[in-house]
Amino acid sequence: MPEAIKKFLFDLNNADFLSVFDEFSDGVIVSDPNGIIVYYNDAMARIDELSRDDVILRSVTDVYDLKEDESIILQCLTKRRPIIDSPNFYRTHMGKFANTVHSVFPVFNKQQIVGAICFVRDYNMLVNTIAAMPVPEQNARFNDASITFDSIIGEDPVFRDAIRSARMASQTPSPVMLFGETGTGKELFSRAIHNHSTRSNQKFTPVNCAAIPENLLEGILFGTSKGAFTGSVNKAGLFERTSKGTIFLDEVNSMPVGLQAKILRIVQENKVRRVGALKETEIDLKIISSINKDPRITIAEGTLRSDLFYRLGVVFIHIVPLRQRLGDLDILVDHFLHKHNILLKKQVRTISDNVMELFRIYNWPGNVRELEHVIEGAMNIVGDGNTIRMNHLQSHFSNWSIRSRSNTPDPTPGFINTSGQQFQQPPIQASHPPKLNQSDLKKQEAENEKEILAQVLTRHGGNISQSAKALGISRQLLYYKIKKYDIDRSQFG
């Protein structure tokens, strides 16, 4: 073994360290503090089409046609900090071109830098790996065509307006943009739009723009052409493969701005050009996109092009967060109890009044998705009980506290979530109204509502559709209220 390698391994204080990388599918280069290559695995040799013997003990600038300030390894050694997922297009001195993604890490012995380890992933390998996966005919969480607008739970007027807008937009080829916080149901809306459209028997392809590295996203969306880079092949991207169907670009504001300009061209001309290709291919797509921040903010921040917003947001639908439609809590809780009773084989029928009060004052930063997570978590530890109580929520809420407000003699209930943030009810006014017996009031309201339901059902012979229309509510909500008040429909038939 050459002395330089022996010295480097001694500095690493682990003689078996480099053998770990021998079988890596990614290329691995290890250099000393001066940029001299002391380790070069077989995967790297395949990427560069070089022999290990031609590389070991040579400077990275000798092996690659790069200046010192262009070498990622030398940059890492100079800056003494990692460089993660850096895309690189380079040429070796043997003339081989390579399109790769590098991550380089400095290696220290105490405070002294003793070298750098560079992990190299071939771009074409990444594209082929992802492209080889089947295009999802349906999203894993929404895995059949039964997801419709009737599947979307909620009676809040603003929320119902969003559903009506989505329903109407599903019948046109115009792009739809959904704006909502994480967990509000944007993907559920997109699936319902697709299933309600004339494209429902075609592909539905969701793309999480925030989850795919930006240097890969273009090839995945647009496809690649043979000769675009070393090892590239003719391969259709998701736009082509989804043609005639619907593509959902989730969190499009996370997409690189340069790529947004190319998306704009697709929307305007209904044509796509693969990476490295000269000709364009016509496509026919319903494009649904989503953003998780106010478009005015994303445009001001420069993360969303204004021209793309106007083209993708022909129909703009705002899905309100759960904290702004707390009137839907009863229906949502009942829905999730029913759903997870089936999945978990439980018999949970209700939640305690204390838990419901907590739900009503919580801020729900994770929205409906978080509510379902809380209920599912509680049902896992409820045992054989049929009621979710406060002690079943300890895995999600760390504490329940009572905190007084200034100028308010009555304490205001609040709680602290696991992040330590405290949420409370709005301040109570200094002048207090006369105290009422809340339980009597609720009981009277319930009796009045039950009587009205009975009258309407009687008038329509127990017909649910006609009764719901007369009441101005959905069939779903009427079913819920019939169950809530234990009304026997057969007596109205």
Which pLDDT tens digit goes with each residue over 344-392?
A: 899 999 999 989 988 998 889 889 998 998 998 889 888 888 999 988 8
Q: Which residues contact 182 (CB under 8 A, 6 or more apart)?
A: 292, 366, 367, 369
- The better pLDDT of the pair 386, 226 is held by 386
CA distance 348 to 484: 15
Q: Which residue has the tokens 């049902």?
A: 379
Per-residue pLDDT, 203 = 92
SS3 82: coil
Which pLDDT tens digit goes with each residue over 10-69?
A: 454 444 567 778 878 788 999 999 999 988 988 888 888 888 888 888 999 888 877 888
CA distance 239 to 258: 17
Question: In DSSP terms, which residues pair with 388 in a beta bridge?
Answer: 351
* Topology of the domain covering 134-320: Rossmann fold (3.40.50)
Which pLDDT tens digit goes with each residue over 66-119?
A: 788 888 999 999 999 998 888 776 766 666 667 788 899 998 888 889 899 999
Which pLDDT tens digit goes with each residue over 385-422?
A: 899 998 888 656 654 333 323 333 333 333 333 333 33
Name the band, by pLDDT with cuts 50, 70 and 90, for residue 1.
very low
Per-residue pLDDT, 47 = 82
Query: pTM for the whole thing?
Result: 0.58
Taking residues 471-489, report their average pLDDT: 76
Give, in words, the CATH class of 323-424.
mainly alpha
Which pLDDT tens digit goes with each residue over 56-73?
A: 889 998 888 778 888 899
Does the pLDDT of residue 210 top 70, yes or no? yes
How is the chain split into domains, by residue range?
Answer: 3-122, 134-320, 323-424, 444-492
Does the pLDDT of residue 196 top 50, yes or no? yes
Question: In DSSP terms, which residues pair with 161 in a beta bridge?
Answer: none
Range in 110-124, 145-159, 256-270, 277-291 the model is least confident about = 110-124
Q: Which residues contact 233 (CB under 8 A, 6 or more apart)?
A: 124, 128, 224, 226
CA distance 286 to 284: 7
Per-residue pLDDT, 290 = 95
CA distance 256 to 42: 33
Does the pLDDT of residue 127 top 60, yes or no? no
CATH of domain 444-492: 1.10.10
Percent of the chain beyond pLDDT 70? 77
Q: Which residues contact 482 (CB under 8 A, 6 or more apart)?
A: 453, 489
Distances (CA, A) of 224 to 45, 246, 420: 24, 21, 48
Residue 384: burial class (beta carbons within 10 Å; 0-12, 13-18, 19+): exposed
DSSP string, 302-324: TSS-HHHHHHHTSEEEE---GGG
Give, in words, the CATH class of 3-122.
alpha beta
Taking residues 192-213, report their average pLDDT: 89
Per-residue pLDDT, 232 = 57
Tokens of 308: 């793309």
Cβ pair 337, 367 in contact under 8 A: no
Range in 138-147, 198-207, 299-308, 400-409 the model is least confident about = 400-409
Q: Can you say whether the dihedral through the CA atoms of 358, 363, 367, 369 is positive or negative?
A: negative
Does the pLDDT of residue 288 top 90, yes or no? yes
Cβ pair 120, 26 in contact under 8 A: yes
Tokens of 114: 């003793």
* C-alpha of 172 from chain center: 26
Does the pLDDT of residue 207 top 70, yes or no? yes
